[in-house]
Each structure stands twice: as C-alpha cells, then as structure tokens.
C-alpha cells in the first residue's frame, strides 16, 4: 500500500505542503483557505470527492488525503506560531522600561522563622499546640516546679494583671505568661502520652526596651513525652533540628544549665553563623551562639499533670524566634521587629 503512488491531485498538493514554512502572514492565510477552507479548500474538496470513488480507492486515497490534511494543519499551526514569535520579538517598544508591578506584602521575619521551625518539627511527628497569654501563677510557675520565693523567679520578671484571682483555678493570680511552658501543662493535662507538640506564641516580661530586650517577644517550645524517651532523644532531635534549620554541617554543643521545669537541663549552642566558630563580636569571641534551652521534663512537672513519671519520661526545649530572626537576618535591634516600619518590612519581601 505504501508504494501506491499518490494520485496526481494529491501529489500537487503535497508539493504545496513543503512551501508552507516559507509563507508570510497574509499569504499563509490565503493559502490556508485555498487548501483547507471549509467550502472551497482543495484538500477539503478532494476528501469530499472520495465519497464517490470505489471502495478500494476510497480506502487507500482516503488515508493518504487525511494524512496530508493533518500534515498541512500542523504545518500551518507551526508557521503561524513562528510568525507570532517573530512579531513579538520585533523592537516596537523600548524594552528597557520598567515593568508594571503589583504591591507585594510579606510575612513578618519572625513569622517566617517560626514557620520554618514548626515545619521541621512537623516532619518528625510534632503537632502545633497553643494556649492563652493571660495565665495564672499556677500554670506559669508553680505547676512548672518554680520554687515559690526563689531567685529562679528573677529570671522571669513578671507583668501581673490588676484583676482578682481566678476563683476556679489553683493559685489563680493573673499574669501575662513569661514563657510558653504553661502550654506544656495544658497539653499534658488534656491529652495522655504520647505527646509531641511544638508551642509557638508571644510571651511577656517586665523588661525595658533596649537593642536586645523587649517586654514582648516570641517563644517556641517543644515537648515530647512517652515511654522510653531519654536524654539521647533530646540531643538527637535538637541536633537534627539544628542541621535542618542552619546547615547540614552545623556544629552544636550541649552544656548544663538550669530551668526549674527540666532536669537534667541543657543549653544548646550552635556554631556562630557569622564566623563559623572562629570567634567574632557577634558570638563574643566564643565561636558559639546560644540558641535554645532544653532538658528532660522534671518528674514534678509530670506529677503535676497526673502522669506517672516512673513510666513516662519526656524532654522539652524553648527558643526565641525574635532572637533567631535577629541572628539569621543580621538585625541589630529588636525594636525594628516591633515597629512596623515599611522600609524595614519591605526588605523581607520574599
């Protein structure tokens, strides 16, 4: 069948297929109508003629004619696109002029840091939990094993509310939470282990403003409680976080520290991101940057949440996204993060 020669009518048309790619815009459309026009097109007409041919011829020539029609359609389409592209490339406009834009906004740099942290922990099975910013002394201090009237309280200069205590709650004197840790208590009281949550939120201290202090700043807390959790899990998970958040080769170190609600307690430092451990003014020459506090959940905390501390163990951490944002973006003064200056915010358009 392949060696069946084209009927002469088709052979002539086949010749014109070859020429399509050289036609200009006006000729192209004329040629299209002449060949493929719905009423007078030559190919169209030939296809119509097929109806009157004998079956055998109809089968062979029909296939040939249809193939030619498809080839022609393709050739015209390709040539049309080519001509359009040529027209677009024509230097009718001064293309160096600025384009038209729309306003773009941005998330707060701290939100961005917070989201990034949450995302890393979500991947390893943590969910997000939140809690109120007005708390009672019990949730903020006592349940977290802060000894009453102890200097440990001095680390949390507290803003108290001028309001009567909450009747329905133990030690109900009201305050603005000084850390996100009360949400640990709320979480453990409301749901049995296994618990794996991260807790982002704002916290408040009676601190005057300066370049690195603000009465309001963010914290993100993490808590994992289950059977068989040990200090190894704490170290491994936070190391994983540091390598995901900073870089795969970031060095960390854990050193003993003190928090009333964890024991053993630790502080995690990461290699200074500016000098990479050599020592610079940003890391006070130590080569390390303090990133987060952490530790094994104190058995007294578990007990206050009615959890059997002999069976379940846990670890927790807390860090300050405001501070981390300052480190990461090289922001010299925390006030910039709280002032809403458009000239500052516009730098953080993604």
Partner 1 sequence: MNVSRRWLEAFFRRSLEPQDVSERLTMLGAPVDAVEPLHTDLGDLVVGLVEEVRPHPNADRLRVCSVNDGGAERRNVVCGAPNVTAGRKYPYAPVGATVPHGKGGAPMKIERAKLRGEVSEGMLCSARELGLGQDHDGILELETDAAPGTRLLDAVPFDDHRLVVDVGPNRPDLLGHKGVARELSASYRSPFRLPAIPGATGSDIPLSRRVATSGEVGGVHITIDDPEGCPRFHAAVIRGARVGPSPAWLRQRLEAVGVRSISNVVDATNYVMFELNQPMHAYDVATLREGSLVVRRAREGERLVTLDQVERQLTPGMVAIADGGGTIGVAGVMGGTSTEVSPASRDILLEGAYWDPASIRRTRRALALSTEASYRFERGIDRWGGADAMRRCIEIVLATAGGELAGAPLDLWPVPSNPPRIFLRPARAAQVLGVELPWHVIEQYLVAIGATVVSKPEDGRMAVDVPGWRPDLVEEIDLVEEIARLYGYENFPSDLRRFRVGSLPDASSERAAAAVRRGLVEQGHFEVSTLPMGPADGKTSVHLLNPLSASDGYLRRRLLPGLVRLVEANWANQVADVRLFEIGSTFELGQPGERPREERRVAAVLTGRREPEHWSGTGEAHFDLWDLKGRFEAAAALAIPGAAVQVERNSWVVRDSQGRTVGEAAPLAADAPPWAAPLFGFELVLDPSPRSATRFRPLPSTPSSQRALALLLPHGTSAGQVEAVLRRVGGELLLERIEVESDYRGAGLPPGMRSVAFRLTFRAPDRTLRDAEVDVAETRLLAALHSELGIQRRDAGTPPTGE
Residues between 70 and 99 that touch partner 1 (CB under 8 A): 97-98
Q: Does 174 bind partner 1 (CB under 8 A)?
A: yes
Q: Are 327 and 283 in contact (CB under 8 A)?
A: no
Q: Which is nearer to partner 1, 30 or 303 (CB)?
A: 303
Angle at 123 between CA 289 and CA 139, to 5 degrees: 65
Q: Does 117 bind partner 1 (CB under 8 A)?
A: no
The stretch among 30-38, 40-48, 76-84, 150-158 that binds partner 1 (CB under 8 A) is 150-158
The stretch among 4-12, 17-25, 74-82, 126-134 that binds partner 1 (CB under 8 A) is 126-134
The stretch among 7-15, 49-57, 65-73, 209-217 that binds partner 1 (CB under 8 A) is 209-217
Q: Does 133 bind partner 1 (CB under 8 A)?
A: yes
Q: Are 184 and 315 in contact (CB under 8 A)?
A: no
Q: Are 268 and 292 in contact (CB under 8 A)?
A: yes
Instruction: Give the separation between CA 205 and CA 178, rounded to whole angstroms.
Output: 6
Q: Are 241 and 198 in contact (CB under 8 A)?
A: no
Which residues, other chains included, contact 104 with Cβ-Cβ below 8 Å and sequence gap of 6+? 349
| Interface with partner 1 in residues 287-306 (CB under 8 A) | 296, 298-299
Q: Does 214 bind partner 1 (CB under 8 A)?
A: yes
Q: Does 277 bind partner 1 (CB under 8 A)?
A: no
- Cα separations in angstroms, 177 against 132, 146, 158, 183, 340: 8, 14, 8, 10, 24
Instruction: Give the separation between CA 309 and CA 298, rounded to whole angstroms.
Output: 9
Q: Does 128 bind partner 1 (CB under 8 A)?
A: yes
The contact pattern for partner 1, residues 309-348, with x = CB under 8 A and - = no contact, is ----x-----------------------xxxxxxx-xx--
Q: Does 256 bind partner 1 (CB under 8 A)?
A: yes
């Amino acid at each position: 069948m392949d060696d069946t020669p084209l009927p002469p009518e088709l052979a002539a048309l086949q010749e014109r297929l070859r020429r399509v790619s050289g036609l200009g815009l006006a000729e192209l459309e004329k040629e299209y109508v002449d060949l493929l026009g719905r009423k007078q097109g030559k190919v169209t007409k030939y296809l119509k003629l097929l109806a009157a041919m004998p079956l055998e011829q109809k089968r062979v020539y029909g296939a040939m004619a249809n193939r030619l029609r498809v080839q022609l359609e393709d050739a015209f389409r390709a040539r049309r696109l080519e001509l359009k592209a040529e027209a677009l490339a024509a230097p009718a406009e001064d293309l160096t002029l600025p384009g038209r834009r729309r306003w773009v906004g941005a998330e707060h740099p701290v939100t961005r840091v917070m989201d990034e942290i949450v995302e890393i922990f979500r991947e390893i099975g943590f969910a997000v939990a939140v809690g109120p910013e007005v708390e009672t002394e019990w949730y903020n201090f006592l349940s977290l094993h802060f000894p009453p009237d102890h200097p440990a309280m001095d680390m949390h200069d507290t803003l108290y509310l001028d309001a009567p205590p909450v009747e329905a709650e133990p030690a109900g004197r009201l305050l603005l939470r000084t850390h996100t840790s009360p949400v640990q208590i709320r979480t453990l009281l409301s749901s049995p282990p296994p618990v794996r949550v991260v807790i982002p939120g704002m916290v408040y201290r009676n601190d005057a403003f300066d370049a690195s202090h603000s009465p309001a700043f963010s914290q993100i807390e993490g808590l994992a409680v289950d059977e068989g959790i040990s200090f190894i899990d704490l170290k491994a998970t936070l190391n994983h976080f540091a390598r995901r958040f900073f870089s795969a080769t970031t060095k960390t170190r854990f050193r003993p520290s003190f928090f009333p609600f964890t024991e053993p307690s630790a502080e995690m430092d990461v290699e200074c991101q500016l000098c990479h451990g050599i020592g610079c003014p940003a890391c006070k020459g130590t080569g390390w940057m303090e990133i987060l506090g952490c530790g094994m959940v104190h058995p007294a905390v578990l007990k206050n949440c009615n959890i059997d501390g002999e069976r379940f163990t846990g670890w927790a951490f807390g860090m300050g996204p405001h501070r981390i944002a300052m480190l990461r973006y090289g922001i010299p003064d925390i006030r910039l993060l709280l002032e809403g200056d458009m000239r500052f915010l516009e730098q953080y358009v993604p």
